Amino acid sequence: MDFDFNQDQRQLREAVLTLCERFDGQYWLEKDRDGGFPEEFYQTFAKAGWLGIAMPEEYGGAGLGITEAALMLQAVAESGGGMSATSSIHLNIFGLNPVVVFGTEDQKKQALTPLIKGESKACFAVTEPDAGLNTTKLTTRAIKRGSDYVVNGRKIWISTAQVADYMLLLARTTPIEEVKKPTDGLSLFYTKLDRKYIEVREIDKMGRKAVDSNELFIDELPVPAADLIGEEGKGFQYILHGMNPERILVSAEAVGIGRAALAQATQYAKERIVFDRPIGMNQGIQHPLARCWAELEAANLLTFRAASLYDSKRACGSEANAAKLLSAEAATHACETAMLTHGGFGYAKEYHVERYFREAMILRIAPVSPQLILCNIAEKVLGLPKSY
């Protein structure tokens, strides 16, 4: 068993890190303070061809695997961009996988090529205020009128909706009381985010100000039948094709931001002199940092184990979930330790570690909670009774 990356993968990582050098800590500090989508960063990655790293070559993508995509996003986070940087390009990597798998040829051309070129942006409109992680309880309705649909409902925590041109929308087309299984009757659409029918209201939040999070109020949105992905009523099954890759990519990003915080803290520990010696000579500083390195490395191995399984078309759900759980914990621990290593300066924005800490917290919460991950592993791996 080889735990190393091949030469192409190592060169990919170095190329991404080199590109990220144009966007230093000061750039992300300003974005964190002032907000506004990092368009310069986004377009730089689009022009370099990175936005389609895991998309099919026939639509302008690179046709690489989730392993390479995870390496790319990890390097972006590790460069100092953190979650502000990765979240601005994250959807391009996994979000439209249902379109790749289930879309028609016309849908793929119209959706994928402009996204890869950076000519259009999309958001993932699934989560709702009252449903939480229970996706089967979505209440947004798409009702057939003639040959087309009209959509009404609400969505929440929709990233990049302020700048998105399109959305991958999950809505109920058959009432839940009329289907055999709760997962039936949900349909998936890739359609325009038409602000004549959708109010996009930004949510003021703890971190990642550069990438907006929003609540959507959808009122009589007309959706052409041609925007339906696959068959009506099978949308829930379709979005599952994006969930394992998402967890793997988020895990890689978590390790990346943890490494960024650890590197910052290690350098500070070497340079900070107290009582005529660098604080890094003290085991009270050394041991927490060393433990963070070990935790990040272990989480990283599981992340790329899950990526390898996915790219080999083998089952990887439990590994992807566990990687997300452990990577998020390792990242937040590393960021907290970095702040404590800096002492009072850890609270100052100019040292960046407080930004890493705030951004890392989202990894504990989204896209799936640690409690639900543990429930899933208990049931699927350990064979315990389903608890929810």
Query: Which residues form the domain of 80?
Result: 7-117
The count of other CB atoms within 10 Å of the CB of residue 158 is: 23
What does the pLDDT read at residue 1? Answer: 65
For position 3, what pLDDT does the model report?
78
**Domain-located, residue 385:** no
Say if CB 54 and CB 61 are below 8 A apart.
yes
Q: Which of 206, 234, 262 is the last residue of a domain?
A: 234
Q: Is residue 275 part of a domain?
A: yes
Q: Are residues 323 and 373 in the same domain?
A: yes
Sign of the alpha-carbon dihedral angle for 209, 212, 216, 220: positive
User: CA torsion sign, 48 to 53 to 55 to 61?
Assistant: positive
**Residue 248: predicted pLDDT:** 97
Q: Is residue 36 part of a domain?
A: yes
Residue-level pLDDT at 388: 83
Whether 62 is in a domain gets the answer: yes
DSSP string, 337-371: HHHHHHGGGGGSGGGSHHHHHHHHHHHHHSSS-HH
- Quote the number of domains for the chain: 3
> Do 179 and 243 fall within a single domain?
no
340 and 352 within one domain = yes
Q: Of 184, 206, 234, which one is at a domain's C-terminal end?
A: 234
Q: Which regions of the chain are under pLDDT 70?
A: 1
Last residue of a domain, which of 195, 216, 234?
234
Q: What is the pLDDT of residue 241?
A: 82
Q: Do 301 and 319 share a domain, yes or no?
A: yes
Q: How many helices (H) and strands (E) would you count in the chain?
A: 12, 10
Q: Do 21 and 100 belong to one domain?
A: yes
Q: Does 295 map to a domain?
A: yes
Q: Are 67 and 133 part of one and the same domain?
A: no
Residue 2 lies in a domain: no
Do 374 and 243 fall within a single domain? yes
Whether this prediction's pTM lies above 0.75 is answered by yes
- The answer on 278 and 219 residing in a single domain is no
pLDDT tens digits, residue range 89-106?
998 888 898 999 999 999
Q: Kindly state whether residues 241 and 376 are assigned to the same domain.
A: yes
In a domain, 278, yes or no: yes
CA distance 55 to 262: 32
How far is Cα of residue 305 from the mean position of the Cα atoms in its chain?
A: 18
